[in-house]
Every structure is written in structure tokens, then in C-alpha cells.
Amino acid sequence: MMRLCPARALAVAVALGACLPWPFRHGRKPVAAPPALANSPRTIDSLWRVGQRAFNRGKWGDATKVFDRLGTVMPASDPRTSRLHFFQGEIQFAQGNELMAVRDFRRIADETPEDSLAPDALLRAADAYTSLWKRPELDPTYGQTALSVYQEVTTRYPGTSAARRAEGRRRELEERFAYKEYRNALFYYRFHAYDSAILSLRSLVAQYPKTAVVPDALEHLVLSYRALGYQEDIKDTCAYITKYFPAPAGPRRLCPRDSTGAQ
């Protein structure tokens, strides 16, 4: 049997040892790695408290960092997931990122429609669209979308507090739409484009009959018909005025007595 010199034996031992996993080189068994703490309930609870405290203090940057981290470690089954998205939506809204806020709010209403936060989240999505329609003279696309989402709240969640608030905000938005249409009509009226003014005024009265600008719209409608000599239209409009706006100081004062049915 061949004998190895001590130096060569040492080299062989080292070579063999290099092929073995590290624990076995020292005669130890593998040790399991400690579990990660990032997803532990205690860590999530701690992060939640920190994020909520930053949110309540209006520290949007700090709150965003914490909530973004929570979004990566919080399990989908956590009952706070919807509230996390709600907080994120409110932060985006507060920072002027309305479309990103809509994304977070709609995520709650569309992915978890039975969640208790869903009605309020949908309402806040409509509020964000409303905020994007800054002035009545601007493109009304966002305002129209807001109207449809407010209606969606009342349809999907009837009887809820969110539905009642949505109805009130929808009426406020309709006032803005009516005023926009009224301004368009006045533009035509001032330039004696009475037919165009009539179209805008009739549309206003038909779509937004309960808005505050309707009496003024009816007055200009009668005046436009008068300028064009449309007697039958005056009669029909005055019959409507008599029924719904009978006050003598209102648009009724422009109506002929025989057209209102007055004796």
C-alpha cells in the first residue's frame, strides 16, 4: 500500500474538503436560515401604525413610503388591504394626482365590491374626476365622467351614506353643467344667433330642470322666440313657465296673458 508524505496528504485533504459544503468541512450539520422578519405580523402591525400616524399628520411623503412597503409585504388576506388602497388614493388626491387617486379608489370598488369601504371609495373616485374639471368653460369630459360615477354610486349602493352624498354632489355638478350651457346660450343670444341660443336653452331646461339657472334660461328662451316671431313656441314655453315657475316676478312676466291661461 502506497504511503503519502505528510505534505501530499495535507494537499489531498484540502482538495477533498473544498468539494464539500461548508458545514461538513468542519464536521457540522447544515443550519436552517432564520425566517425572514419582513412579512411577520409584528412587522406589518408596526409599519401600519407608523404609516397611519404619518397619514393623520398630513406627512404624505412619509406615509407613501410606508404604505408602498406595506403593499409588498402585506398578504392579500389581510383585512386592512382595502384601507391601505384607500389611504394611498387619498394621498394621491391630496397631492394633486387625481387620475392615480381614481386608480386606487376604483381598485377597491371593482376588485372588492362587497367591502365596507367600496361605496366611499367609488364616491372619492367621482370626487377626483370632479376636481379635474377646474372651470365650466373647459372641456367637460372629466365632469361628465364624474356625473356617471356619482350615478354609479347611487345605483350600486342605494341607501348608503355614500349614495346620499353622491346624490348631493351630482346636483352640485349639474349646476355647473347648466351654468356652462347657459353661458353658451348667452354668447349666441348677444350676437343675435337666436336659433343657436334656443337650442342651448332648450337643452339646458330639458337636462337640468331643477337647477338654479333655469328661470333665467326660460326668460331668454321667450325673448329669443319673440325676436324670431315664433308665437306658438312662446305659447308652449309660457305654459311650462306657468306650471313650474308661476311667480309673477319670474319669467312669467314676459308671457302674454292669453298664453299662460291667466284670466
CATH value at residue 220: 1.25.40
Longest pairwise C-alpha distance within the chain = 138
φ/ψ (deg, to 5) at 212: -70, -20
Residue 257's pLDDT is: 79
| 150 is a domain residue | no
Positions of the chain with pLDDT under 50: 1-2, 4-26, 31, 33-37, 260-263
User: How far is it, in rounded angstroms, from Cα 7 to Cα 127?
Assistant: 82
| 219 is a domain residue | yes
Residue 100's pLDDT is: 97
Residue 256's pLDDT is: 87
| 160 is a domain residue | no
Residue 259's pLDDT is: 55
Q: Quick one: how far is CA 148 from the chain centroid?
A: 11
Residue 36's pLDDT is: 45
User: How far is it, in rounded angstroms, from Cα 42 to Cα 63?
Assistant: 18
Number of other CB atoms surrounding residue 29 within 10 Å: 6
| 182 is a domain residue | yes
Helix H, strand E, coil C: the string for the chain is CCCCCHHHHHHHHHHHHHCCCHHHHCCCCCCCCCCCCCCCHHHHHHHHHHHHHHHHCCCHHHHHHHHHHHHHHCCCCCCCHHHHHHHHHHHHHHCCCHHHHHHHHHHHHHHCCCCCCHHHHHHHHHHHHHHHCCCCCCCCHHHHHHHHHHHHHHHHCCCCHHHHHHHHHHHHHHHHHHHHHHHHHHHHHHCCCHHHHHHHHHHHHHHCCCCCCHHHHHHHHHHHHHHHCCHHHHHHHHHHHHHHCCCCCCHHHHCCHHHHCCC
| 151 is a domain residue | no
| 232 is a domain residue | yes
Residue 225's pLDDT is: 97
Cell numbers that stand for 184 in this block: 353658451
| 197 is a domain residue | yes
Query: Tens of pLDDT along 94-103?
Result: 999 999 999 9
Query: Tens of pLDDT along 103-143?
Result: 999 999 999 999 999 999 999 999 999 999 988 777 899 99
| 19 is a domain residue | no
The domain of 233 spans 176-263
Domain count along the chain: 1
